[in-house]
Structure 1
Amino acid sequence: MKIWLLTLAICSFTILLSCVAEKPEETTKVTTSVQSPNEDSELALLMRFMYDDMYRVKAELEAGKRASLEHDPKEMFTAEPTDSAQVSTESYKAFGQAYIAAYNAFHQAGQANLKGHFEVLVQNCMVCHQTTCPGPMRRIENLYFDN
């Protein structure tokens, strides 16, 4: 029941955010250069570590083991991004806070509820990447359990 309420809350929050229009800035926009593909930003490296960590946890949960995530989700707010414009929005901050809440719920869940809480974590990743940086979405799909 808690999983459904959390999922419903996240979906409602997502819909609410999509309805809110951001005010256009009246200042001159400065174009930031994207780093070379050979130079990964701190945030890109963090996201890859988060994926690897979650993939490991998924395998442990599928084997019926108790698993815990090793990454610190708060680093999403401090890691240097490839493009600072993508992470300076209110929606990125809100998605990050929703992910942290789901992360904490996962770690507090009992064994019987871990898979459900893990699915909520994956859904948080997917929703954020749908609006912020869609490139990794195919890879994130690998984190869902095969039902």
Structure 2
Amino acid sequence: MAEQVTSVDQVAKEAERLAKLIGGVSKAMGEQANAAVEITSAVDGMRRQSEQMAKAMMEQARATKDMTGVTQNVARQIALVTRSNREHLAASSAVAGNLVELRAVSDRNAGSMKEAKQVVGSLQDYCKNLLDLVERR
């Protein structure tokens, strides 16, 4: 009887541990989803900035053809391209940071999953032992 109580306690503790691990994995998956949303947003921003940069470059090419007295217009276009490049660089840095963060979350998830697998294995062993004890009685 004492063995059954001990086994039941062990199973309860392992089940509680598993619940905590599942909570941790759920939280990490939420963080991963948030990071994915941020990456998607950053990529969308990069796309818009690339379109802006392409438009600015086309305007700059036209201004170069008509350069006879439009020096001021050319300077304005160069400023647009420079600003667009800065924004592009900032977005690229943000994406790189998000990728690092995503990798860290993925690594944590992998570790939690390994630990959860071990806990499940332990629970299976404890349950098997408990069944063996019950069947012997």
The TM-score with structure 2 as length reference comes to 0.32
Higher relative contact order (CA 8 A, sep 6+): 2
